[in-house]
Amino acid sequence: MKKISFDTKTGNVLLDNIAIAPLGEIEFIEKSMKYKIELITTQTNTHIHNFSTFGTLNEFEFGVNFIFENSFMKSIWLFWDGGNSKKYGYNTTENQLIADKNNLAKLLAKIFDKEPDEIKKTFSAFYFPWGNVSASASIQSSTTAIGISWNF
């Protein structure tokens, strides 16, 4: 499983210290092949493509979903494979999901050495000049995740 890290100065997301995002789709695929990053590919329609893999961020394990629109990386979602949603599935309560979101926000605060810039019930966001990173809870899908998006 690849180790996930962030370069908060540039906005790069790294897997095993290899800058993998943000990249164009062709460069992303070429780098993935070169560095043996196993990907699952999903084409949702003619201009949106998803590539998925797995990774760890500190002690947390995630399913990593890279989303491309018109060959440009739009966002990355790290879906936490742990916490209450792993224990209880769709029976996870709203309070349990919020607690999981808060755990992800604490993880990010530790990594970034700063508190979230915005905190709401279902998300906590960290803003950077290049984009933002957020910890979120989806009550509808009983998941918690970290989202990364860029300002371009």
Tokens of 39: 């990907």
Q: Which domain holds residue 76?
A: 1-152
Tokens of 62: 């995630």
Number of domains into which the chain is organized: 1
Question: Tokens 């309560």 — which residue?
Answer: 93
Confidence band for 138, pLDDT divided at 50, 70 and 90: very high
pLDDT at 122: 95
Query: What's the rounded mean pLDDT across residues 51-72?
Result: 94
Q: Which residues pair with 61 in a beta bridge?
A: 56
Confidence band for 47, pLDDT divided at 50, 70 and 90: confident
| Residue 48 reports pLDDT greater than 70 | yes
The pLDDT tens digits of the residues spanning 140-152 come to 999 999 999 999 8
The pLDDT tens digits of the residues spanning 69-124 come to 999 999 999 999 899 988 998 899 999 999 999 999 999 999 999 999 999 999 99
Residues 6+ away with beta carbon under 8 Å from 31: 18, 20, 23, 37
Query: What's the rounded mean pLDDT across residues 2-9?
Result: 95
| Residue 43 reports pLDDT greater than 90 | no
Query: What's the rounded mean pLDDT across residues 52-63?
Result: 95
| Residue 45 reports pLDDT greater than 70 | no
